[in-house]
Amino acid sequence: MSSLDDLYRRVIMDHYQKPRNRGKLEEAEGLIVNLNNPTCGDSISLSLKVEDGKVTDAKFLGEGCSISMSSASMMTDAVKGKSVEEALELAHRFSELMQGKEIDDSIDLGDIEALSGVAKFPARIKCATLAWKALEQGIKQSGQE
Amino acid sequence: MDAKELRKYFPILHQEVNGHPLVYLDNGATSQKPIQVIEAMDKYYKEYNSNVHRGVHTLGSLATDGYEGAREKVRAFINAREAAEVVFTRGTTSAVNTVAYGYARAVLKPGDEIVTTVVEHHANFIPWQQAAKATGATFKFIPLAEDGTVTLDAVRDTITDNTKIVAIHHISNVLGDTTPIKEIAQIAHQHGALLFVDGAQGAPHKKIDVQDLDCDFYAFSAHKMAGPTGVGVLYGKREVLERVEPMEFGGEMIDFVELYDSTWKELPWKFEGGTPIIAGAIGLGAAIDFLEEIGMDNIERHEKKLVAYAMEQMREIEGMTIYGPQQDRSSLITFNLAGVHPHDLSTVLDSYGIAVRAGHHCAQPLMRWLNVTATARASFYMYNTEDEVDAFVAGLKKTKEYFGNVFS
């Protein structure tokens, strides 16, 4: 597999073309985090519903490249139904994945693992981490970390 | 002018990137430097490194001659009346800020107007926006034609007797259009306004005659014109520069320092507080020698030809949008390929050794005007060749094919 094919794996393109959890929650239903990457213009608006220490819903709207949008799609899929600790742990794993670190394979990352190729493209790491930064901020805002 | 011949002076161009010969098409961001520039700076550090304007010793005189000699080269390059009208800055950004702080913020009042366009690079936008905000002056925009160009009718309709400053690009870093500076200067002056020109994409690509343009200020950066980073130029007419207060206080820029007040050196040194960018200025001087040797008219002609050649082939690619005027463009092409985000496009091109820029190009208001969030940009310089354009177009086709495949 060339490094380009490693970057743009089929599952990434699938999330880019058919994003999961696209949309937003009403203000009364959850909280909203708006983040953008000022160097390139990617943006995300993440809606999160955190109840009793659990992420019960996650939706996103945004504009950006295949990496940033597929990452947002995968992230929302992955954290829905997880406890806040589990979600933050995933965010931590993802950050390690982006740094090219060997990760503990006892935790199944599912589709997210497909983004591991991004680590070899330093200019694109910020694209992949945008949605996860929004998640961390949202959990902080919820006051339930 | 033979671009292929010129390439031998640019050591960086002779390398492979990701297994392909480097095709460097990000000159709008920064240009490459010829060996003459690298060696001139090297020579300064190896043979006569010393501070300027103070040492009585031999090296001090040599350094001062090198630094002031570079100023004279800049003067001749832009045809300023005198070297005192050439201020060395850190680059275009600090040149704009020098005037925005030292003049706009000091003199503007509510009711006064700063006139600009949404095409401006952030460097020629935010300093004025913030000056307007701080003084209560009105920040006004010249409406653009459909292709993003600035027409004189629109300029006439926007500038009024309340306009104190007009800040505009010479050549847009996104649209590649050239604004009619001379005519705009005339209109601005009829209303008593000063004209500030962002020449960051002008001076590297076109013969500049500030007396003919009759602009009040003209700013540019060395690193986009074969020179080093960290140095740029603020040109200003003597009578207007005298009305600009220095923004940075310290050594080098003072005349008399008393306990409770100080006076400034004369132009241009009152704006050059602290030890200046000596090696950088010497490098800029060497870059100007290099450009003059080739001839700015030759460079402009070569780039326009390359751009026309590239645009002709790009238009044949289905799903291609090219922003800005479709002909008579300066050295750059900003575009989008349907279905491929500019970052993805840039990553795929990079895998073929082709360097282009992707993003908002420090022009967010313009991106909104174009109704896009990001674009890709290929920008050329004197050393780019038709072969490289062919490689770039082939790369675009491969990108399209690649994304067609991963999508299917």
Any idea which residues of B carry the catalytic annotation? 362
Intra-chain end-to-end CA distance of chain B, in Å: 46
Domain end, chosen from B293, B312, B340, is at: B293
Round to whole Å and give the CA distance between A85 and A54.
8
Does residue B100 surpass a pLDDT of 90? yes
In contact, A43 and A64? CB cutoff 8 Å: yes
Count of domains observed in chain A: 1
Does residue B408 surpass a pLDDT of 60? no
Backbone angles phi, psi at B336, to 5 degrees: -140, 145
Whether B254 is covered by a domain: the verdict is: yes
Whether B32 is covered by a domain: the verdict is: no
Same domain flag for B214 and B311: no
- ipTM for the predicted complex comes to 0.85
Identify the domain containing residue A42 by its residue range. Answer: 3-142
| Nearest residue of A to residue B345, measured between CA atoms | A65
Same domain flag for B151 and B300: no
Same domain flag for B149 and B241: yes
Measured CA distances, B224 to B232, B299, B354, B377 (Å): 10, 14, 19, 15
Same domain flag for B253 and B301: no
CATH number at residue B388: 3.90.1150.10
pLDDT tens by residue, B238-267: 999 999 999 999 988 989 999 999 999 999
In contact, B99 and B215? CB cutoff 8 Å: no
Whether B75 is covered by a domain: the verdict is: yes
Same domain flag for B302 and B396: yes
Distance of residue A119 Cα from the nearest chain B Cα, in angstroms: 13
Which region among B144-158, B167-181, B359-373 has the lowest average model confidence (pLDDT)? B359-373
Same domain flag for B250 and B358: no
Among B367, B402, B406, whose Cβ lies nearest the Cβ of A10? B406
Backbone angles phi, psi at B148, to 5 degrees: 90, 0
pLDDT tens by residue, B340-380: 999 999 999 999 999 999 988 899 999 999 999 899 999 99
Backbone angles phi, psi at B257, to 5 degrees: -115, 115
Among B341, B351, B402, whose Cβ lies nearest the Cβ of A65? B341
| Nearest residue of B to residue A69, measured between CA atoms | B341
Count of domains observed in chain B: 2
Same domain flag for B221 and B160: yes
Round to whole Å and give the CA distance between A74 and B151.
47
Interchain CB contact of B354 with A (< 8 Å):
no
Does residue A1 surpass a pLDDT of 70? no
CATH number at residue B87: 3.40.640.10
Domain end, chosen from B293, B316, B339, is at: B293
Q: Any bridge partners for residue A51, and if so which?
A: A54
Query: Whole-model pTM?
Result: 0.93
Q: What percent of chain A has pLDDT over 90?
A: 68
Same domain flag for B288 and B302: no
Domain end, chosen from B293, B315, B341, is at: B293
Same domain flag for B182 and B86: yes
Residue type, B209: D
What pLDDT sits at residue B398? 95
Whether B140 is covered by a domain: the verdict is: yes
Does residue A105 surpass a pLDDT of 80? no
Round to whole Å and give the CA distance between B329 and B173.
11
Q: Is A52 exposed, middle or buried (0-12, 13-18, 19+ CB in 10 A)?
A: exposed
pLDDT tens by residue, A22-40: 999 988 889 999 999 877 7
What pLDDT sits at residue B407? 53
CATH number at residue A64: 3.90.1010.10
Choose from A7, A8, A130 for mutation: most chain B CBs within 10 A. A8
Identify the domain containing residue B341 by its residue range. Answer: 3-25+295-407
Does residue B298 surpass a pLDDT of 80? yes
Q: Is B407 in contact with A17 (Cβ distance < 8 A)?
A: yes
Taking the mean position of all CA atoms in its chain, how far away is CA B108?
26
Which region among A99-108, B203-212, B354-363 has the lowest average model confidence (pLDDT)? A99-108
* Nearest to B107, CA basis, from B256, B231, B244: B244
